[in-house]
């Protein structure tokens, strides 16, 4: 909180300089809409909080346009945003578009074409703001002709976090070598991950510490676990695009898919076998709880979303492991790294989202101004520090970001240098329906009610049924 | 009749108008949508009519949907039985005087004023592994592992306990109101005739309470059959399908998977099943009440 306050004050102070010669432009551009309140909805994440608490206030001070951003849970965000856009009710002037849902939104023509909107209204084009400043992550929010439908506000990769202090302990190293016959290091293979997890679970218990060997984002009633499997674990085993054959839209092996193939089963087996070495809350943990568990020092290693990596590593008010966090790429199965480097695969999920304007918005022009304000270069560094996200190319080189990068064991550098190995979700317009069909099988595998093999056989049949129902297999 | 009661109809018209708008129009719209194959995520996102029985035929063979109905009925029977038993006991207790009676009655009523979603949150905070105190206490003192994220039985019973905690006060208060209003003459006569307390309860109290019991049973039955919020917050319907009651199942089909046509048919079918269950129960209770008269 103090950090956020500091960021707010610092940004306010630097704001006159930031707006520079453009402050007058913003004032004039906002004048016709002064007094308007823009209503937005987004997922409650550190970047979203920064936008609502800091950027919205600056924007109001500059233009007179008030921004009320409703940062809520992931489920509620989707529920409210989609219902609003479907009903064309115009409650929200801008909505959060997660990278994986953008194909659904574009398919259903929910969003305003921002490129076209700005081109047809030059008076709204803010000086010094260019969509070219964004990293390639903005490409996920473009249609086939290259027009932008969402302005990225967060982008981060899924990394492997580990506890440097635990892995560095001499007694742990000696005990591990005696037990497993090789040295204790952060995992570079899945076998090593499992050994580390088993070892630290017992080691922590012996030492009277409340910690376990690994995180597992394994909620048995929330899609977070399906996403974890499909977007992080399965790709690192070489299973891409949910195992769906992108030509025939089939996912079962017998029909040409891969969702119940060897790689998928190896991935799910690996993941479920980690459960005995995960904190007891693992089966009720979404991405947020995994971040909190790691920050509380309850896990020695794990897959953690990058939006949490920075604060876990640097924010002593919220994290008990500041200065003790190491960041690496997660292990991958043989061949996966080569495929990812050549663009024929990916090692994990490049997550993030953008703000877009629904057609139903009653204040499209004022919202265009707000989205351009969000896209300004000037506040990107503070936003990156507060939210662990980077959407602009130049942000990596900002001195403030580089300082935090050092404290966060090179998380930002890792994203800059290896981001190309990651990918967003596959371009499925049926994203929600497909995932919903898979969910119960992943939940059952995690709960031990089904073997991973049974779960994936069932999941692929359910997914194929959905794709057939929706007409994708014709 | 209409011409004789113009003023009455005029006064009733706002209510009738609201009922039509908020009740009948949505109902008929859902009924209408239920006849279509409609999913906006499909290649053809338009509504396609494929026969009146298209979605309903599919539901007859939809194992997950049918299981969710069975699960909901099981849940309703279990919670209703336990809440009625506990509520009756508490109501009888509250008839007599004891120290701090008013305080107990106040505290006992508190869950009633809490929104279902908050009840789910409270139970989650209290029972979630790693954070909640209950798993720790059970493990430390009884060696019992509570992890409803993994154990389907525990998940089901945790929802039952949550529902009992939330709704037993309603049963208690309603029955208490009924008990307080009962005439005293039959009790005095029964005592003079030498009936013991159990006989009085069985042959005097219960029969006289039948109208109140019917109201309580129907309200709670209909409520428990459509449970969503608390379950959503506590288990999300998991693990697997363990707590995927019909309300949750419909929500997931409609708002996650966007099967609007199928989901509408599910809603109508489930409404029909609820009405049938209530009608059977009502018939049994009323006929039994008449035969006892």
DSSP string, A83-135: HHHHHT----SEEEEEGGGHHHHHHTT-B--HHHHHHT-GGG--TT--GGGB-
Q: Same domain for A283 and A207?
A: yes
With an 8 Å Cβ cutoff, are B147 and A280 in contact? yes
Torsion, Cα B198 B202 B205 B208, to 10 degrees, reads: -170
Interface residues of chain B, partner chain A, Cβ below 8 Å: 39-45, 64, 124, 128-131, 135, 147, 149-152, 235-244, 252-253, 255-259
Size of interface A-B (CB pairs under 8 A): 112
Q: Same domain for A88 and A228?
A: no
Instruction: For chain A, 474 residues long, give each residue's pLDDT as a single digit of tens.
Output: 455 555 555 454 444 445 545 889 999 999 999 999 999 999 988 899 999 999 999 999 999 999 999 999 888 899 899 999 999 999 999 999 998 889 889 988 999 999 999 999 998 999 989 888 999 999 999 998 999 999 999 999 999 999 999 999 999 999 999 999 999 999 999 999 999 999 999 999 999 999 999 999 999 999 999 999 999 999 999 999 999 999 999 999 999 999 999 999 999 999 999 999 999 999 999 998 999 999 999 999 999 998 888 889 989 999 999 999 999 999 999 999 999 999 999 999 999 999 999 999 999 999 999 999 999 998 999 999 888 889 999 999 999 999 999 999 999 999 999 999 999 999 898 999 999 999 999 999 999 999 999 999 999 999 999 999 999 987
With an 8 Å Cβ cutoff, are A440 and B240 in contact? yes
With an 8 Å Cβ cutoff, are A446 and B150 in contact? yes
- Residue A462 resides in a domain: no
- Residue A425 resides in a domain: no
- Residue A454 resides in a domain: no
Of A282, A432, A474, the CB nearest to B41: A432
What CATH number did the domain enclosing A146 receive?
A: 3.40.190.10
Last residue of a domain, one of A289, A321, A341: A341
Does the CB of A219 have a partner CB in chain B at under 8 Å? Answer: yes
Phi and psi torsions of B257, nearest 5°: -95, -10
User: How far is the C-alpha of A456 from the C-alpha of A262, rounded, in Å?
Assistant: 10
- Residue A442 resides in a domain: no
- Where does A220-328 have alpha helices with state H? 224-227, 234-236, 262-273, 287-295, 306-314
User: How far is the C-alpha of A416 from the C-alpha of A339, rounded, in Å?
Assistant: 19
For A57-92, how does the pLDDT look when each residue is reduced to its tens digit (9 = 90+)?
A: 999 999 999 999 999 988 889 989 999 999 999 999
Domain range for A314:
157-341
Phi and psi torsions of A134, nearest 5°: -75, 155
Q: Same domain for A130 and A165?
A: no
- Residue A91 resides in a domain: yes
Q: Same domain for A65 and A212?
A: no
Q: Same domain for A113 and A167?
A: no
User: How far is the C-alpha of A331 from the C-alpha of B238, rounded, in Å?
Assistant: 30
Of B236, B239, B259, the CB nearest to A449: B239
Q: Same domain for A26 and A126?
A: yes
- Residue A437 resides in a domain: no
Q: Same domain for A148 and A195?
A: no
Q: How confident is the model at residue B252 (pLDDT cuts 50, 70, 90)?
A: very high
Neighbours of A267 (CB within 10 A): 26
Last residue of a domain, one of A341, A368, A385: A341
- Where does A209-342 have alpha helices with state H? 224-227, 234-236, 262-273, 287-295, 306-314, 336-341
Q: Which residues of A333-358 are buried (b: 16+ CB within 10 A; e: fewer)?
A: beebbebbeeeebbbbbbbbbbbbbb
Torsion, Cα B85 B88 B93 B94, to 10 degrees, reads: 140
Number of folded domains in chain A?
2
Q: Same domain for A23 and A81?
A: yes
Q: Same domain for A336 and A395?
A: no
With an 8 Å Cβ cutoff, are A437 and B257 in contact? yes
Last residue of a domain, one of A376, A391, A416: A416
Q: Same domain for A144 and A166?
A: no
Residues contacting B291, CB < 8 A, separation 6+: none
Assign A45 to helix, strand or coil. Answer: coil
At which residue do the structure tokens 């604060």 appear? Answer: A311
With an 8 Å Cβ cutoff, are A280 and B135 in contact? yes
Token digits for A254? 């017998």
All structural domains of chain B: 63-256+269-292 (1.10.3720.10)
For A369-388, how does the pLDDT look when each residue is reduced to its tens digit (9 = 90+)?
A: 999 999 999 899 999 988 88
- Residue A451 resides in a domain: no
The answer to whether B261 touches B35, Cβ cutoff 8 Å, is yes
Q: Same domain for A149 and A175?
A: no
B131-142 mean pLDDT: 92
Amino acid B281: pLDDT: 85
């Amino acid at each position: 909180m103090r950090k956020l306050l500091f960021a707010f004050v610092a940004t306010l102070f630097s704001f006159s300089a930031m707006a520079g010669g453009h402050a007058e432009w913003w004032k004039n551009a906002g004048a016709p809409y002064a007094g308007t309140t823009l209503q937005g909805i987004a997922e409650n994440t550190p970047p979203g909080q920064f936008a609502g608490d800091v950027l919205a206030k600056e924007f109001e001070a500059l233009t007179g346009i008030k921004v009320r951003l409703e940062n809520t849970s992931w489920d509620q965000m989707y529920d409210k945003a989609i219902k609003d856009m479907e009903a064309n009710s115009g409650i929200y002037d801008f909505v959060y578009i997660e990278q994986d849902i953008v194909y659904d939104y574009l398919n259903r023509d929910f969003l305003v074409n921002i490129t076209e909107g700005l081109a047809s209204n030059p008076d709204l084009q803010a000086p010094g703001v260019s969509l070219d400043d964004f990293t390639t992550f903005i490409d996920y929010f473009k249609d086939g002709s290259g027009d932008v439908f969402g302005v990225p506000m967060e982008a981060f990769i899924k990394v492997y976090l580990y506890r440097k202090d635990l892995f560095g302990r001499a007694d742990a190293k000696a005990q591990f070598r005696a037990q497993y016959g090789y040295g204790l290091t952060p995992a570079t293979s899945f076998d090593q991950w499992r050994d580390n997890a088993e070892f630290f679970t017992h080691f922590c218990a012996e030492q009277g510490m409340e910690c376990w060997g690994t995180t597992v984002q394994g909620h048995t009633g929330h899609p977070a676990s399906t996403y974890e499997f499909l977007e992080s674990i399965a790709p690192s085993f070489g299973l891409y695009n949910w195992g769906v054959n992108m030509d025939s839209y089939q996912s079962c092996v017998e029909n040409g898919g891969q969702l119940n193939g060897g790689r998928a089963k190896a991935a799910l087996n690996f993941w479920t076998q980690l459960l005995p070495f995960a904190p007891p809350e693992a089966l009720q943990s979404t991405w947020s709880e995994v971040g909190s568990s790691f920050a509380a020092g309850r896990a020695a290693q794990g897959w953690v979303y990058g939006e949490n990596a920075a604060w876990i590593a640097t924010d002593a008010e919220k994290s008990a492991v500041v200065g003790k966090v190491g960041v690496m790429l997660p292990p991958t199965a043989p061949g996966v790294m080569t495929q990812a480097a050549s663009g024929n695969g990916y090692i994990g999920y490049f997550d993030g989202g953008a703000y877009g304007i629904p057609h139903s918005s009653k204040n499209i022009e004022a919202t265009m101004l707000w989205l351009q304000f969000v896209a300004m270069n000037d506040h990107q560094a503070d936003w990156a520090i507060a939210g662990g996200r980077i959407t602009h190319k130049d942000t990596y080189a900002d001195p403030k970001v580089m300082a935090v990068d050092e404290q966060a064991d090179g998380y930002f550098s890792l994203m800059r240098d290896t981001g190309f190995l990651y990918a967003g979700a596959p371009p499925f317009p049926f994203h929600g329906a497909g995932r919903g069909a898979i969910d119960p099988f992943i939940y059952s595998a995690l709960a031990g009610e089904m073997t991973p093999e049974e779960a994936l056989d069932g999941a692929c049949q359910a997914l194929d049924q959905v794709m057939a129902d929706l007409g994708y297999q014709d | 009749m209409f011409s004789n009661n113009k003023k009455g109809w005029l006064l009733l018209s706002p209510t009738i108008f609201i009922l039509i708008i908020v009740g009948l129009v949505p109902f008929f719209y859902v009924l209408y949508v239920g006849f279509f194959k409609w999913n906006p995520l499909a290649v053809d996102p338009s509504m396609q009519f494929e026969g009146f029985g298209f979605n309903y035929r599919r539901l007859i063979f939809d194992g997950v949907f049918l299981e969710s109905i069975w699960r909901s009925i099981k849940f309703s029977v279990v919670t209703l039985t336990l809440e009625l038993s506990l509520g009756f006991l508490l109501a009888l207790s509250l008839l007599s005087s004891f120290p701090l009676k008013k305080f107990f009655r106040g505290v006992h009523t508190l869950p009633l004023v809490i929104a279902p979603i908050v009840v789910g949150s409270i139970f989650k905070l209290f029972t979630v592994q790693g954070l909640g105190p209950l798993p720790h206490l059970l493990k430390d003192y009884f060696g019992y592992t509570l992890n409803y994220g993994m154990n389907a039985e525990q998940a089901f019973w945790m929802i039952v306990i949550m529902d009992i905690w939330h709704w037993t006060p309603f049963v208690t208060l309603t029955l208490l109101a009924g008990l307080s209003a009962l005439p005293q003459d039959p009790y005095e006569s029964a005592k003079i005739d030498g009936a013991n307390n159990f006989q009085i309860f069985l042959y005097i109290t219960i029969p006289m309470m039948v109208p109140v019991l019917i109201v309580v049973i129907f309200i709670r039955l209909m409520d428990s059959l459509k449970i969503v919020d608390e379950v959503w917050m506590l288990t999300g319907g998991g693990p697997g399908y363990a707590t995927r009651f019909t309300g949750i199942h419909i929500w997931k089909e409609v708002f996650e998977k966007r099967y609007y046509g199928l989901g509408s048919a599910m809603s109508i079918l489930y409404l029909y099943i609820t009405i049938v269950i209530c009608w059977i129960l009502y018939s049994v209770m009323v006929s039994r009440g008449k035969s006892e008269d």
